[in-house]
Amino acid sequence: MSDFRFLHTMIRVFDLDKSIQFYTDFLGMKLLRKNDYPDGKFTLAFVGYGDEKDHTVIELTHNWDQTEPYDLGNAFGHMALGVPDIYKTCEDLRKIGAKIVREPGPMKHGTTVIAFIEDPDGYKIELIETKK
């Protein structure tokens, strides 16, 4: 099993263009590929910080017939990104319209500095300060 590799996480998104903009413009990811599947009435877009052969990415799945935002349920937790300066990152994200749902600061019962933001569909993204 040591040759296994984590490839991607898939999330369903209501407005694909808005989601791609969030992950690329707000979080600095790149749109790696995007494919329409007309027979299945869906589009897959993959975003990430580097090529899929070397990096774990996010698969954004847009079902064309979805008429309402998805109910996220209560099983999914969050995705996490490491950032070098969490206070500056949150300040910059706030300026461009990101929704910060937990201001930066030490986590409860620990010293790791974290914050949470939400993407356009309400998925939580934890920011973790990773000083170099």
Catalytic residue IDs: 126
68, 75, 93 from 99: Cα distances, Å: 20, 21, 8
Are 61 and 11 within 8 A, CB to CB?
Answer: yes
Phi, psi angles (nearest 5°) of residue 51: -55, 140
**Residue 79, number of CB atoms within 10 A of its CB:** 15
124-129 and 30-37 beta bridge pairing: unpaired
Distance, in Å, from the CA atom of 49 to the CA atom of 30, rounded to the nearest integer, reads 6
